[in-house]
Structure 1
Amino acid sequence: YRINNAFKGYAHRESYLEEAVKTLKVEDCPDYEYRKGQKGSVIVIGGKGEKIINTYGHTNNVMYRLSVFRSMTLEKYNELKKEDKLPKADYITYVTRDAHQGLSASERSEKRYGTNNECPQGNKYHLVSKKDSSIDDKGRYTMYISDNNNNRDIQGPNGFRDGIAIHEHDRKGSKGCLTLASGNGEPGTNTLGKIPVEELYNEIPDLFLHEVMKDAERTDDNGLVHDMSIDRRPVRLILEEREVIEKTNNNKPYWEGFIDEEYKV
């Protein structure tokens, strides 16, 4: 649809796809069998630090693996994981999870998952786009974490929290966001800016596919109009418990990630 939104030659292209599926024996692939009929995506963010990167003067960004499993429901993911049959992730990147390092003591909670500290662990989150999480399509970032798939809200130990995003900035002052620590992209800073964030977003089509296809239709050779729109599909997010060392900053505790040398990539 991105290439040809008029669906010119759609039936012809569809026949080629069907022939390719047969020729390449797609239905014999175990990965296909696991994902057959599955609608939605699962994002998993691990709790083990795997590498450290330094960006625009900020050091020791401990990074955690983010894995994207497309064409998979949360229920199917849990089933396959229990059976040790999970397929390889469709896309992998790394994000920070440490928070509040640049904030004063008065700005953050003493609780690990409290105000302005790291996002609470959980296996029932949703990842939502800027548009789907806002009634006016506004927002600073591209992706947000939500409890219910329709906003940017979660519940933490101190109560309501909102605006926890996946973005490009450093962990320092991130207030619980998950960051790719890719910087502002300004000349001379040796940073990539929003590029890694956009790459991640594009690797999760279920975040935006319904927006692209909401008015999609095609007219066949007989003049019949076919509705080609795609309903919104859930993107579930699992945030595993993070391995940390408790320290103190500005007379308040904080929880710093570390690298297990045996696990390091």
Structure 2
Amino acid sequence: MNTQQTSKVILVTGASSGIGEATATRLVRQGHRVVLGARRTERLQALAERLRDEGGQVAYRALDVTRLNDMQDFVAFAEATFGPVDVVINNAGVMPLSPLNALKVDEWDRMIDVNVRGVLHGIAAVLPSMEARGQGHVINVSSIGGHAVSPSAAVYCATKYAVRAISDGLRQETDSIRVTVVSPGVVESELADTISDTTARDAMKAFRRIALQPDAIARAIAYAVEQPNDVDVSELIVRPTASPY
């Protein structure tokens, strides 16, 4: 367990798998105090126990980012456990792709709720305290889908463009809080498992033929976290070298 750098209190949403799990693991092993949030608490418990066995400082709590009260309670739990929150990583996201003419309105609404409102709720829950202390770090996970639109991904891409817009708006509104938006390229994850549309699911299999491991994104996030308070790594795009996307 590396504890050489200053330990920070860090929240990770969507921490039960993929990028969230990898990021939480890396940050705990670097000596940070990390609070895991997700709906699948059995996975959070298993991850927390594994990291505690390694000597890490980690806690977890059930979290639905679409509910502001849930996010506020998550932050309060973190503060009661480890102290004021230094970093929030708004990572929770869903990706049920489909062509617009499939009219999967419920799935559109879910993406907006998790991918956009979830980020806003994460910001709302930590911003007052960070502003009062004059420091803090908000890290929002977007996507290469937030830089270019592709067929069957219009709504998903719209939510990820929104994450970039929200992030840059927050960055411009503050001179004391660091804001980072991370846009992963193709990464091995469970996101594609939520695709119910057959056409989109088949296209995604080809799209994900070349993919990064989640720890590649975790390393990028850790790099942004470790910078001093006067250095804001505003945006990172992380892609597989061999991928054209």
- What TM-score do you get using the length of structure 1 for normalisation? 0.23
Instruction: Tell me which structure has the larger Cα radius of gyration.
Output: 1
The higher-RCO structure (CA 8 Å, 6+ apart) is 1
Structure having the larger proportion of residues in strand: 1
